[in-house]
Amino acid sequence: MARSDNRAPDQLREIRFQPDIAPHATGSVLVSFGKTQVICAATIQDEVPRWMKVQGVPGGWLTAEYSMLPYSTLDRKDRDISKGKLDGRSQEIQRLIGRSLRAAVDLEKLGPRTLWIDCDVLQADGGTRTASITGACVAASMAFNRLLQKGVLTQQPLKKKVAAISVGIFRNQALLDLCYEEDRDAEVDCNLVMTEDGQFVEIQGSGEESTFSEAQLNAMLGLGKKGIMEICKLQEEAIRAVEPKSPAPPASGAMSSLADAFKKL
């Protein structure tokens, strides 16, 4: 079966990470899965929620917010603030992002701080929640590395990378990384969240007025695991590309000049 963008059934869309898209965040990235684009920003606050203080819970907290900008879809989407409340879909997705990142972060090593993950969809073409989780992990890793370099953190809170991808049954065939057209018309729609060592964090799946077999489920899980392992390699490359550099030691010649200068004093 030919896909609308000519990909193979087990082929990801082009995935890109543009770092430091939000300069005031501790770590940020613009993640693109094909035409889907999401700004993911990680911001550290030196405080924890009141309920943690009251209950004496050690360590820090991680929470997420998700929104689709009005121009991210073909038809303008009203902002949640104009309706006076967060819509059910956005609430579900931001909870999923928070759960996914908390599975990958040691909150005790974060210390008495809150890590805010903000995901804002610039353009939606399917898979915004999976792109958000994938980009949020990169943004969080960037933030942790910078705080470690500054000495604000003494231990790395990120236990392992986490990523997500969509899979589904479209026209009776299992496909990886569904674009909007495939997601809209899929008989089965599923989102997988996994760690870089192949452990599941969450599986969301349902038949869209249809049922699916165990063989189809296994086919989707196989495609999803393959895709996530590929994504984790891309995450690692993106994180390494912006790792803070330790200050270089003075050149030996410069040290000798300093020593000579002190001798003359």
Binding-site members are 89, 127-129
**Cα–Cα dist 76/14, whole Å:** 26
Residues 26, 44: contact at Cβ < 8 Å?
A: yes
User: What three-state secondary structure class fits 33?
Assistant: strand
User: Which residues, in sequence order, are bridge partners of residue 27?
Assistant: 42
Gyration radius from the chain CA atoms: 22
Known binding site for phosphate: residues? 89, 127-129
User: What three-state secondary structure class fits 239?
Assistant: helix
Residues 62, 114: contact at Cβ < 8 Å?
A: yes
User: Which residues, in sequence order, are bridge partners of residue 167?
Assistant: 176, 190
> What are the strands of the beta sheet with 200-207, ordered from one edge?
173-176, 162-170, 188-195, 200-207
**Cα–Cα dist 261/255, whole Å:** 10
CA-angle at 238, arms to 234 and 239, nearest 5° = 115
> What are the strands of the beta sheet with 36-45, ordered from one edge?
15-19, 27-33, 36-45, 114-123, 61-68
